[in-house]
Structure 1
């Protein structure tokens, strides 16, 4: 797919330069033992880091945002985009947690520059939800992470609904997942561009039984990350004018959409 191809080319170039992400600050030190997660308290939101093993054997690191007022068993699972990481949705995670919703962000471990493994990523999201003993779930994701969220939602009977952020489909996997899916799907979309495969996710949601599309006028693919970084901007953002306002609007709409889905 176009977005994946662009990221792949840059990824290999970065490897030659000792890695694109070497200078990016991690969200927190990753725990060495999954059964002893590390914790940090910030206002009334506790953040807990842990690790779950994928069925393929690799480690899925997660950050669990746990507000004191969260309803036990309720959980939002956030999925990052292709070759990204969970820090790129930390802003949305915190915004949701500050409204009293428990949220987890996950680092995919089965994605490769040459292969997205989107279906596997979806089942990995379910594995994290199982570890956290979720009973009522909303899956949400950015770009290819939205595709993984659809896979997870379609295969998890606890799902209340799905939020996709500038969804990118691959080989019609998303369209396959939404057929016969009877839960609501909300999709926020920016302007068509190579990095969102010219809005190919719109066709995916058009095949869903209960879909709602919201367009964010002028939004680039990067506007749906919170925060984004120089790499996404270099690949996917030709004009940064108004990005703060657009990102704030996307964050607010995302929180509203997820709260509505949790009320289903």
Structure 2
């Protein structure tokens, strides 16, 4: 936990220095024809609005949905690349902005239930929950508490107070975890210990990957904190996107 606490404090400091239900349908710019995006809101049990972007391929299976969660103090734009890759593969996916996270408190359990609220809003029947960093932790919470879950994909998972470990011990669905190199930004790969407690877990390592490589796109802030060497980042990001699509496809076949 010391590494995670140190990262959280540095991350918050850098952010400080850096100073309607239903949605509207639009063509998704830069996405394969036949994919549309619906922007809308669901409501958290705490009353705040959960903004989402729903990538809807014409060829997707009705009722199937991937719910994709961003990392701590990030936003859904940081996973737009993965959402597009999934949508271009014919998979319906929604990215969500958490509304209950605070710099001093992640509210990861609440975030997990907020992911379920978005799935309910979109009337999903067969679900894969997925997330990056602390978003992977929220995905585990959602999966553990949603009987519609087929499986979970975590991207460089970061656990907090062993919440993820508690969730996977009671989860009877498969979990696929993609991990980069151990560093302070992923709490020295503490997510590996979390998934070791899962009943059904598959670990895939991305050699040389930094925490930022799992965002698509990332930004200068993540690079400044978590990516000392950018060499090969684009190739690693492409590999992560390809592996993520393959992983989600396998989970949807459960």
TM-score class, shorter-chain normalisation, is over 0.9
Shift of 1:11: 3.0
TM-score of the aligned structures, taking structure 1 as reference length:
0.91
Which stretch has the larger CA shift, 177-186 or 117-126?
177-186
Gaps of 5+ in 2: none
Change (3 A) 1:170 1:211: same
> In 2, distance between residues paired with 1:157 and 1:14?
37
Contact 1:7/1:83, CA 8 A, preserved across alignment: no
Shift of 1:124: 0.1
Change (3 A) 1:10 1:152: closer
> In 2, distance between residues paired with 1:225 and 1:13?
18
> In 2, distance between residues paired with 1:235 and 1:7?
11
Q: Does 1:34 align with 2:24?
A: no
Shift of 1:34: 1.7
Contact 1:4/1:82, CA 8 A, preserved across alignment: no
| 3-state DSSP of counterpart to 2:38 | strand
| 3-state DSSP of counterpart to 1:34 | coil
The corresponding residue for 1:26 is: none
Contact 2:14/2:221, CA 8 A, preserved across alignment: no
Shift of 1:10: 4.2
The corresponding residue for 1:25 is: none
| 3-state DSSP of counterpart to 2:82 | helix
Gaps of 5+ in 1: 20-32
| 3-state DSSP of counterpart to 2:166 | helix
Shift of 1:39: 1.8
The corresponding residue for 2:203 is: 213
Which runs of at least 4 in structure 1 moved beyond 6 Å after TM superposition?
none
The corresponding residue for 2:16 is: 15
> In 1, distance between residues paired with 2:253 and 2:118?
22
Q: Does 1:55 align with 2:42?
A: no
Shift of 1:8: 3.9
In the alignment of these two chains, the number of paired residues is 249
The corresponding residue for 1:23 is: none
| 3-state DSSP of counterpart to 2:78 | helix
| 3-state DSSP of counterpart to 1:66 | strand
Shift of 1:84: 0.2
| 3-state DSSP of counterpart to 1:192 | coil
> In 2, distance between residues paired with 1:4 and 1:68?
43
Q: Does 1:184 align with 2:174?
A: yes
> In 2, distance between residues paired with 1:100 and 1:50?
21
The corresponding residue for 1:28 is: none
Q: Does 1:150 align with 2:158?
A: no
Residue deviations 1:94-130 (CA, integer Å, cap 9, x gap): 1000111100000000000000000000000000000
